[in-house]
Amino acid sequence: MPRPETIYLFALACAGLVLLPGPALIFIVTRGVVHGRRGGLISTLGVETGNVVQVLAATVGLAAIVASSAEAFSVIKYLGAAYLIFLGIRALTGTGDGTEPSVTRERSGRRLYADGVLVGALNPKLALFLLAFLPQFVDPAVGPIWLQTLVLGLIFNVIAAIGDSLFALAAASAGGRLRSWLHSRRLTQTSGIIYLGLGAVAALSHSETKG
């Protein structure tokens, strides 16, 4: 199990990251605007189900990497820190992807849920992000890598579910204004600063540990 202080720090980082705009969040907000509270919440449930699939995949992948080579896990952590810094630079320079899912047709609850599952499970950006983010909080000396990764991944999923549900409800009430806010330049720049901070802290902590 991760140390308590690691869990607290991880949860705080997750809370900040949930506020950042991404494909899944924009998808949920759009569904809330178009289909109301019920549609937004059903879509959120689908996305979080897909996210669990991604967490399980990350757990298996990281455990396999550590089983094969401890040095390989260190490389993954460095690459993860570099990827977080890359995300920050891209957000600050305005070269991110501004695409938005198209959801204008009326759909059943089952279809809304299925669409959400696909958005969560097939989001390559989330897969890369989990492989970059989770290892920064995993310590092979504490216990099994798979258990730490799974616990942290599920914590991320719970926090994301709470945040996304609130966004879905707000979108149903605020309509297009919330969608405009998600696409604002200032919010994108804020996300860039957070990513840069996470990447820098991860890289520096690795250097100190190695030294």
Digit-coded pLDDT (tens) for 74-121: 776 777 677 768 867 876 786 555 444 444 445 678 888 998 898 888
pTM: 0.70
Confidence at residue 99, expressed as pLDDT on a 0 to 100 scale: 47
pLDDT in tens, 24-80: 887 888 788 778 889 889 999 999 999 999 899 888 887 777 667 767 667 767 776
Q: Which residues contact 165 (CB under 8 A, 6 or more apart)?
A: 41, 44
pLDDT at res. 91: 67
Per-residue model confidence (pLDDT) at position 65: 75
User: In this predicted structure, what is the pLDDT of residue 104?
Assistant: 43
* pLDDT interval class at 209 (50, 70, 90): very low
Instruction: From 178, 151, 209, select the one nearest 3 (Cα to Cα).
Output: 151
Distance CA 199, CA 97 (A): 20
Q: 158-203 pLDDT, tens per residue?
A: 999 999 999 889 888 876 566 566 555 665 666 667 667 767 766 6
Categorize the per-residue pLDDT at 15 as very low, low, confident or very high, splitting at 50, 70 and 90.
confident
